[in-house]
Structure 1
C-alpha cells in the first residue's frame, strides 16, 4: 500500500520555464518526487522495485510582482508555508513597503480566503488560512521592532482588532497587547534614564571614577587585556546589529532626518573609527620621541593586533591595520626601520588577511573557515612565529578554549550596497524585483550566523580601561599630517629622493616623490582598508558627536575595501559585477560645493554610457545640480589618474587592468588648477636636478 510520503533524498528539481500572469512573474520548476511503499513485500526484488514509484510536481517561485502578489505568495498554491520565501520576505520587505502596508494586505488576503472558505471548505483553503496566521506569528516574534511605533503603535492595534474579530480563539491579540505594554514600559524607562543622566554633574562623576582607578598608561596595558576589551565591545555591538538595516536601500536612507534606521550599524562604524584614530594618535602623540621609542609603540599595536587575530576579532584587527597603514603613520620610515624584523613580518602577515586582491578573497575564506570554529587556525612563514602558533594551538586544545567570532562589518555592507546598485528595484514592467532580495538575504543569513558565533565570548568589561580609552585625544586629518611632518619633515628635492631610494620600498618612494612636490598625495594612501567601505558618508556624520566629527571626516575613511558580493561563484572573473555590457564602479566627487567628499558610492556603468551621461549619474548620486559640461571624469589608478575624454564611451575607455574600478568627478576649474600645480612641481624638480 502506498503511503504517499515522498522520499526527499531522490528529489530532483529542474528549471522548466518562466510564467507570467497579471501582476507577477514566476520561475516554474519541475520536481520529481519519489515515494516509498511501506507494504510488506516478500522478497528484496519487490523492495527495490518500489523505489520506482514517483510523480512530477510543478513548483512556482515568484521572481517579480506587485506587493499584493508578493503577499499572496506567502502561502503556496497548495496552501503550505514556504519557510524560505517567508524568511526572505520578512527580512527584506522594508525596502519596498511599510509594515502597515504589509499587515493590511495580509489581513485583506485572510478575509478573502475566509469568505471563500464558507462556500468551499477545502483542505487547501484551510491550509492557506493557517499559513497566514503562522506568518503573522513569526513576524511578531522575529521582528518585534517593526511594530515599535511610538507612541500610538498603530500596527499592533490594527492586529489586535483584526484578531478579536476573526480569530477569537487565537492568542495573537493577547501577544499584541503584551507588546504594546512592553514598548510603553521601555519608552518610559528610557525617558527616566535620560533625566537621571542629566541630573549628575559630569565633573563630579569624572572625579569619582578617577578616585577609584589609577590612570592607565598605554605601554603598561597588557596586549591580551587590550585585545579582550576591544573584543568585548565589538562583540556586543555586532550582536546588536539589526541585519536588515544593513541592506543597501535601507542603509542609504540613514542620513535622512526622518529615518531612525541604521543606528546599530552606525554604532559599529563609530567604534571602528575610534580604534583607528587612537592608533594614529598614540603613535604620533610625542613629536620629540626617538624613532626607536616610537617603534616600540608601533610594535605594541602589532602585538595587540595579533591578540585580536587569536580572538578572531576581525573588526578591531582591521581597524588597527588601517590606522597603521594610514598616511601619517606609514610615511614615518625611520620608525618602521627601527621595528624588529619579527614584528615587521607579523605586520605584513596580518595585513595580508585584508588584501584587496580578488575581492578580498583571503579575508572571506578565512572568515568562512573560522566563523564557527573553536579557535583560529594560525599560520606563518616565519619559523619562530610558526612554532609559537603551534604551541598556542596545542594550549587551546588542552585547555578546551573556545573563541567567538567578530567579522568586519564593512565587507557585508559593501556587498549589500553592490547588490543594491547592480540590481534594479523594479523590473521594466513596474514589478518589484524580488530576485534582488533573494541575493540580499544570502548576505543577511551569513550575518545572522556570525551573530550567533559572537555570543560565545565570555569577557567582562573593565571600566578603568574604557575611561582611559575615551580620554585619549584623537586628531583631525590636518593635525595628524602636521604632527607626522614635524616628526619626519617632507623630503625636499629629487636628489634627496635618489639618495634615499635604495633604502625605500616602492610604496615609500612613491610617497617621498609626491611629498617632494610640496603638497600631500591627493589619493595615494597605503591603507586600502578604510571604514567608508562600511557605507558611512557625509550624511551619517550628523548623528556622530561633534567631538568626533572633525576626525571622522579624514582620509582614514576614504577608500572602500570590497567591490562585489560574496554570493558570486564565478571564480574566473575578477569581479562578479562586471559583464560584457555592464559593470559596477565606485565614484567620488570633488567640488568646492561639498567639503571633504573623498567618499565612494556606487553606480552601474553600461556599455552605452558616455562621459556626459556618467558625470550626470554621479552628480545625481551626490544630489549636486549643475551642467555635466562643467566637470571632468577621471579614473583613479595605482600610479595616478586617467582623464576620460569628453564624448568618450567610458565603458571602453577605462583602464580594465585594475580590479577596483574607482572614478572621481572634479570641476574643470579645479582640475586645471591641479594640473598647473603639478606642472610647476615638475619644473621645480627639473631645476633642482640641474
Structure 2
C-alpha cells in the first residue's frame, strides 16, 4: 500500500493558541493534512483511492522576539522559510542594523560548524540555510552593504567567506560587489547632482545656449508634457527602495547618514518631483496678473487636458500632482477664469478629481490602481458623451497599434498606509520586537515592488528642451501665490458685506474655494492639504484623514480593523464607514501635529500622535518635540489647533483632549511663542494694508 500525502481544499489552518519561549512569542496554528492511500493492486492512473485519512499538524509562527531569536528563526528549523526571510530582510532596518544582523548570522554559522552535539545532517542543513540567507541578502538588498569609503560589512563578509566558505563563490561575488560600489561612488562624487527637497527654494535655471528660442507653455503639445513627466516619474519610481517607505525609516528622514545622502533619498526624489509639478501648475496660471481672463482660462484648460493624458498613460503620480495644483486655493478661487471653461473641460476635471477623493480612505484611487496596475490599456469611462467617445477612440487606436501602457502609482497612498501602520502598532510586544507589525508592513512593500515592474514598460526618451523649460519656470511659495491670486481677483469676503457668490454658469464653485478648496502636496512621505489663506500661516492636512484616524484608533485597540491579506491589496479598512467627522473615543484619538520653529525648515511636515484624555498641554508639546527629534524646553512653545478658517490657541495647563474643537479635523501646529507673537502682529498689519488698498 502506498501512502500519498495530498493537501486538498478541505485542509484548514486555524489559530490555536499563543506559546512563549525565552525571548520569543509564537502564534500556534493547527492544520489538517489529508492523506490518500492507494493499494498496490490498484491502477495509479485511475486516481481512485481506497482510503482517505487525515491528521492534524501543529506549527508555530514567530510573533515577537529578541533580535537574536528573530535571526535564529531564519535557519533554526533546518530549512529556509522564504516567506519569513523576505519579510525579515525587507523590514529589519526598523529595529536593527546591517552590521548587527550580519554579525549574528556569521557567529551562528561558526557556532553550528563547531558544535559536535548537533547531528551531521541537521548541521549541514543549517549551514546551507545560513549561506542561502546571506546570498539572497546580498543579491536582493545590495544597498545595505554600500558603506563608503571602507565598506566594513562587505570586508567582514569577504574575510568570513575566505575562512569558512573556500569552496563557494561568495568571496568572489563580495569582492566584485565592492569594486562596483567603489566605481559607482567615485563617479557620483566626480559628477554629483545635489537634490534640494524644498518646496519654495527654487532657482531659475538658464536655458542652454543651443536652444535659441525658449519654449512657451502654450506651445508645448499636451502629449509631450504628459510623456516627459511620465518618463521622469517612471525613472524615479523604479529607483525607489521599498524599505525607504517604511514609517520608522521615514521618521528618521531628516538625519543625514553620509555626505549628500539621506535615510530615504529615493523617496525624497519622488516627492520632490511631485511637488515640482504641482508648483509649476500653480506658477503657470498665476505668473502674469495682467493676463487676459480668456488666456488664463486656456492655461487651465491645457492643464486639465494634460491631466487626462496622464490618465491615459496610467501615470497616477503626476495626475495627482496636476489635480492638486488646480485645486490649490490660489488657483481655484479664480472665479472668472473657471467660469469661462467649456462644459467638457469642467466634466473632465471633476471626473479626474473624483479619482483621488479622500472618501473611505481613498478607496476610489486604490480600486482603480489595483484594476489597472498590470492592465495593457486604461479603461477610461466618462459620463460625458463627448469625452466617452473620445476615450473609446483613443483606446481603440492603442489596441490597433499594439501600444501597451505602463503604470506609475501615486506613492503617497503607500506612504500613508505605512505611516498609519507605524503609528498604530507598537514596535515592541512585552519588551520584544513586534514582528507581526513587520508582516503588515511587508504586504505594502510587496505591492510597491510589483508596481515597479509595471513601470518598466514605458519607452519614452528624455526631451532636454522640455526640461530646460520646466526647470526655468519660476515657482512661488504659499504667500506669494495667494498675493498673485488676489492681484488677479480681489478676495470676495473683504471690504464688502455682500453675500459670497457660490456658483457660476459653469457649475464650478470657486467662490467657496477661498476657505474650502485645497491642494494636496506630498511632503515628507505623506499627504498634506494646503489651504492657503490671506495670512502667513498654513493650514495643512496630514495623511490621517477622518477615516484613517478611525482606522488608527481601531487598529491600536484591536476593535474592528480588517486587513486584507490578498496580494491585490493591503489597504486598511474600518468597519465604520461614516467619515463625516473625526473619530474620537472616550479615551483617545489620533491628532496630526506640524512644527514651526526657527532651527528647522518650515516644511509643514505632519506627524500623527495619539492623544489621551489625560494629556495636558505641556505633555503634548514635549511629545511632539520628541517626535521631531528637537531638543528644547516645552515652555518656549505654544500649541494651536488648525481650524478651517482660523487657529485656536490651546492655553497652558489645560487638558488638550477636552479643550480642543471637535467640529473640525484634529490638526495642530507647534510654534515658539516668539514666532506666534510676530505672526499675530504680521496678520494685523496685513489686514490694515488690505483695508487701505480697498
CA contact (8 A) 1:588 1:665 kept: yes
| Structure 1 residues 250 and 471: alpha-carbon distance in aligned structure 2, compared to 1, 3 A threshold | same
- Counterpart of 1:559 (choices 535, 541, 544) is 541
Q: Distance in 1 between matches of 2:617 and 2:508?
A: 33
Partner residue, 2:668: 663
| Structure 1 residues 307 and 502: alpha-carbon distance in aligned structure 2, compared to 1, 3 A threshold | closer
- Counterpart of 1:570 (choices 571, 574, 581) is 574
Partner residue, 2:342: 340
The question of 1:621 aligning with 2:637 is answered no
What does residue range 434-453 of structure 1 map to in structure 2 within 5 Å?
434-453=435-454
CA contact (8 A) 1:33 1:54 kept: yes
Q: Distance in 1 between matches of 2:190 and 2:685?
A: 63
- Counterpart of 1:154 (choices 138, 152, 155) is 152
What does residue range 191-230 of structure 1 map to in structure 2 within 5 Å?
191-193=189-191, 209-211=208-210, 214-230=213-229
Partner residue, 2:383: 381
CA contact (8 A) 1:283 1:294 kept: yes
Q: Over aligned residues, Cα RMSD in angstroms?
A: 3.6
- CA shift for structure 1 position 480: 2.1
SS in 2 for 1:530: strand
TM-score normalised by length of structure 1: 0.84
Partner residue, 2:200: none
TM-score normalised by length of structure 2: 0.83
- Counterpart of 1:526 (choices 493, 517, 522) is 517
SS in 1 for 2:572: coil
SS in 1 for 2:451: helix
Q: Distance in 1 between matches of 2:8 and 2:661?
A: 50
What does residue range 73-112 of structure 1 map to in structure 2 within 5 Å?
73-77=73-77, 79-112=78-111
CA contact (8 A) 1:26 1:61 kept: yes
- CA shift for structure 1 position 305: 0.5
Partner residue, 1:606: 612
- CA shift for structure 1 position 185: 2.3
Q: Distance in 2 between matches of 1:584 and 1:82?
A: 37
Partner residue, 2:561: none
- Unmatched tracts of structure 1, length 5 or more: 196-204, 513-523, 538-553
The question of 1:56 aligning with 2:56 is answered yes
SS in 1 for 2:377: coil
| Structure 1 residues 653 and 126: alpha-carbon distance in aligned structure 2, compared to 1, 3 A threshold | farther
| Structure 1 residues 76 and 401: alpha-carbon distance in aligned structure 2, compared to 1, 3 A threshold | farther
Count of matched residue pairs: 643
CA contact (8 A) 2:2 2:39 kept: yes
| Structure 1 residues 168 and 590: alpha-carbon distance in aligned structure 2, compared to 1, 3 A threshold | closer
Deviation string for 1:517-544 (max 9, x for gaps)?
A: xxxxxxx46225222262499xxxxxxx
| Structure 1 residues 36 and 237: alpha-carbon distance in aligned structure 2, compared to 1, 3 A threshold | same
- CA shift for structure 1 position 442: 1.1
Partner residue, 1:370: 372
Partner residue, 2:248: 249
Q: Distance in 2 between matches of 1:614 and 1:663?
A: 11
CA contact (8 A) 1:632 1:668 kept: no
CA contact (8 A) 1:528 1:559 kept: no
CA contact (8 A) 1:424 1:433 kept: yes
Q: Distance in 1 between matches of 2:293 and 2:502?
A: 19
SS in 1 for 2:35: strand
SS in 1 for 2:177: helix
- CA shift for structure 1 position 592: 6.7
The question of 1:489 aligning with 2:490 is answered yes
SS in 1 for 2:480: helix
CA contact (8 A) 1:356 1:561 kept: no
Partner residue, 1:128: 126
Partner residue, 1:421: 423
Partner residue, 2:326: 324
Q: Distance in 1 between matches of 2:302 and 2:605?
A: 31
- CA shift for structure 1 position 62: 1.2
Q: Distance in 1 between matches of 2:126 and 2:222?
A: 58
Q: Distance in 2 between matches of 1:643 and 1:127?
A: 64
CA contact (8 A) 1:360 1:562 kept: no
- CA shift for structure 1 position 4: 5.5
SS in 1 for 2:209: helix
Q: Distance in 1 between matches of 2:508 and 2:393?
A: 36
Q: Distance in 1 between matches of 2:98 and 2:310?
A: 40
Q: Distance in 2 between matches of 1:628 and 1:147?
A: 43
CA contact (8 A) 1:607 1:651 kept: yes
The question of 1:164 aligning with 2:162 is answered yes
Query: Which shows bigger deviation, 269-278 or 389-398?
Result: 389-398
Q: Distance in 2 between matches of 1:12 and 1:294?
A: 64
What does residue range 298-317 of structure 1 map to in structure 2 within 5 Å?
298-317=300-319
SS in 1 for 2:13: strand
CA contact (8 A) 1:359 1:562 kept: no
Partner residue, 1:202: none
Q: Distance in 2 between matches of 1:555 and 1:217?
A: 33
Q: Distance in 2 between matches of 1:270 and 1:121?
A: 56
- Counterpart of 1:173 (choices 153, 171, 174) is 171
- CA shift for structure 1 position 110: 1.5
Query: Which shows bigger deviation, 153-162 or 29-38?
Result: 29-38
Q: Distance in 1 between matches of 2:423 and 2:370?
A: 25
- CA shift for structure 1 position 454: 0.4
- CA shift for structure 1 position 366: 1.1
- CA shift for structure 1 position 464: 1.4
Q: Distance in 1 between matches of 2:181 and 2:603?
A: 40
- CA shift for structure 1 position 640: 5.3
Partner residue, 2:34: 34
Partner residue, 1:138: 136
Q: Distance in 1 between matches of 2:178 and 2:323?
A: 45
